[in-house]
Copies of this chain bind each other. A is one copy, B any other.
Amino acid sequence: MLTGDDYRKSLLDGRETFFEGRRVEDIGAEPALDIAVRSVAAGYDRHYAAGPDARNPLMEAPRSIEELRDRIPMLHAVDVLTNVTYQSLMTLFTVGGRMAEGSEEFIERMHAYVDDARARDIRITECITDAKGNRANPPSRQTDPDAYVHVVDRQRDGVVIRGAKLHITGASLGHDLMVMPTKNMKAGEEEYAIACAVPVNAPGVRIVNTTYAPRVADARHFPVSSRNAIPDGFVVFDDVFVPNERIFLDGQGRYAAVFAHSLGLWERLGGIAFMVEEADEMVGAAQLIAEANGTAGIAHIQEKISELVIHATMLRAGLESAITHAERTPEGYFYPNELFTNAAKFQGAAQYNLMVRHLHDIAGGAVLTAPALSDFDNPDTGPSLRKYMSTMDGVDGEYRARLFHLIRDLTADAYGGWRFVTNIQSGGGLFAQRLVTRKHYDMDRAKQIALRSAGIEE
């Protein structure tokens, strides 16, 4: 296994990564990106165990409902990149169980890859969303054939791929890119049915980063994002060679969507696991600021806190049910129930903006206008700010300002914006979640109930 230091060194492998118009040679030297490096390195140190047989226990496929349930608090404790690595590996386990005969070689490669990845203790990001070109047309009918990642050359020992993958969280921070097709491929689109693992520093890979990391020196002003910000990558595959042993699907169009669906499931589970904590955090922030404002006993404030509580509880009910009703692959691995996972993800995404509105309505305008903590440090302004930001005995002005900064960082600043968008977009937009939920619902039973009620015999 790797230590945090090992990890930092591993990033200096010649990867071509860019940020705001410049090539970044050393990610850790770029302050806006180093936040992520620090967070991942700390994660390595936390999980590190010595010895050649040491493995990160999180990365083992759950073999029972209880094991699956135990992963949830573990996921809450780890950094985003480790989370994404977990989702990538679990996807491979689930995919194996969903591919049929004739895919034995691919399944074997996946198992070998997972074993090796765990032994090397690497971090893997999931690369799914293609550039897509004109949404009205399938991959094979695009003006630009590269709108979806595809094989452009075949060699004895591997293939060459071209295209781009977008919105890849942590792409520049990991070691491997897990490339998968974004949907099912039809006859004639075999070259687009490609899944494989590509090292970040493979020749031809170029990543352009964006980040919501705070640009202000004083981290206290951004208590969450100054520790958690992780860049998203726009990943270009410019004729990248992939050796055979790293290819997990090649040309079997009918299995293309198995990858996307399996990944989608794990991504949404990760999503609701995060949302459940996020919802509890919002409840806590709402209650704390109401108490600090002296408004916790006012009826309409209590109502809004109750709605935040109910939201958090219903999301938790969805997560719990997704796990209680987990399903089993033929190989004995457990994965969460599709129906509950998707319904809860939808609920979380659909209600999130309203919950933020409640939080803002509870907290008040100082979410925006609470002075910086450096203004509290300044002897010319600090005493006045402390005096006027205090509301009563026992509520320190600076403490109250910190709560406002928390709420601003979570919901009304760059990181807050990232949450607004990713809560909807991760795992597909609201439309996708509506679709998948409908697909997994027992519609026949529902129709039977209605027919019986209508007095109609079938």
A238, B384: Cβ atoms closer than 8 Å: yes
Distance (whole angstroms) from the CB of A451 to the closest CB of chain B: 7
Q: Evaluate contact between B23 and A447: CB separation under 8 angstroms.
A: no
Q: A366-B167, A384-B236, A438-B306 are in contact. Are A280 and B424 (CB under 8 A)?
A: no
Q: Pick out which of these stretches binds chain B: A1-9, A90-98, A295-303.
A: A295-303
A74 vs chain B, min Cβ distance (A): 16
Whether A393 lies near B324 (C-beta < 8 A) is no
Main secondary structure of the interface of A (DSSP, over half): helix
Measured between beta carbons, the chain B residues less than 8 angstroms from A306 are 434-435, 437-438
In the complex, which residue of chain B has the Cβ closest to the Cβ of A378? B21
Contact of B375 with A307 in the complex, beta carbons under 8 Å:
no
> Interface stretch among A36-44, A80-88, A105-113, A410-418?
A410-418
Copies of this protein in the complex = 4
* A454 on the B face (CB < 8 A): yes
Q: Is A268 among interface residues, defined by CB-CB distance under 8 A?
A: no
* Cβ B360 vs Cβ A421 within 8 A: yes
Pick from A280, A303, A420 the residue with the most CB of B within 10 Å: A420
Scoring A residues 317 to 351 as 1 if CB is less than 8 Å from chain B, else 0, what string do you get? 11011001100000000000001100110110010
Chain B residue contacts of A15, Cβ below 8 A:
none
How far is A378 from B297 in the complex, measured between Cα atoms in Å? 47
Is the CB–CB distance between B208 and A144 below 8 Å? Answer: no
A187 contacts the other chain (CB 8 A): no
| B414 in contact with A420 (CB, 8 Å) | no
Q: Is A274 an interface residue (CB 8 A)?
A: no
- Chain B's closest residue to A320 (CB) is B321
Q: Is the CB of B368 within 8 A of A424?
A: no
State the CA gap A293–B233 with chains docked (Å).
Answer: 19
| Set of chain B residues within 8 Å of A21, measured between Cβ atoms | 218, 372, 374-375, 377-378
CA separation between A306 and B434, bound complex, in Å? 5
Say whether B417 contacts A344, CB under 8 Å. Answer: no
A309 to B310, CA, bound (A): 20
Is A127 in the interface zone, CB < 8 Å from B? no
CB <8 Å contact, A360 and B425 = yes
Q: Which of A4-51 contact B (CB under 8 A)?
A: 18, 20-23
Chain B residue numbers with a CB within 8 Å of A421 are 360, 365, 367-368, 412
Interface presence of A429 (CB below 8 A): yes
- For A446, give its contact among B206, B234, B287 (CB under 8 Å): B287
Known: A167-B368, A361-B424, A406-B454. A131 touches B321 (CB 8 A): no
Please, which residues of chain B bring their CB within 8 A of the CB of A131?
Answer: 387-389
A449-B284 in contact given A343-B310, A389-B131, A391-B133 (Cβ < 8 Å) = yes
Interface size range on A against B: 35 or more
- Are the C-beta atoms of B437 and A313 separated by less than 8 Å? yes
Contact B361 A430 (CB under 8 A): yes
Stretch at the interface among A118-126, A243-251, A397-405: A397-405
- Cβ-based interface call for A150 (8 A): no
**A236 partner, pick from B280, B388, B391, beta carbons under 8 A:** B388
Q: Which of B146, B413, B441 contacts A313 (CB 8 A)?
A: B441
Q: A136–B206 Cα gap in the complex (Å)?
A: 48
Within the complex, the shortest CB–CB distance from A284 to chain B, in Å, comes to: 3
Contact B280 A314 (CB under 8 A): no
Contact flag A316-B321 (CB < 8 Å), given A132-B391, A353-B353, A411-B417: yes
Of all chain B residues, the one with the shortest Cβ separation from A217 is B20
The residues of A with any CB-CB pair to B shorter than 8 Å are 18, 20-23, 129, 131-136, 143-144, 146-147, 163-164, 166-167, 206, 208, 210, 212, 215-216, 218, 220, 223-224, 232-234, 236, 238, 277, 280-285, 287-288, 293-295, 297-300, 302-303, 305-307, 309-310, 312-314, 316-318, 320-321, 324-325, 339-340, 343-344, 346-347, 350, 352-354, 356-357, 360-361, 364-372, 374-375, 377-378, 380-381, 384-385, 387-393, 399, 402-403, 405-406, 408, 410-414, 416-418, 420-422, 424-426, 429-431, 433-435, 437-438, 441, 443, 445-451, 453-456
Besides A163-B388, A288-B450, 17 other A-B contacts (C-beta < 8 A):
A21-B378, A22-B378, A164-B384, A212-B413, A236-B381, A238-B384, A280-B449, A283-B450, A287-B446, A314-B314, A320-B321, A324-B324, A350-B357, A354-B354, A365-B426, A368-B422, A414-B417
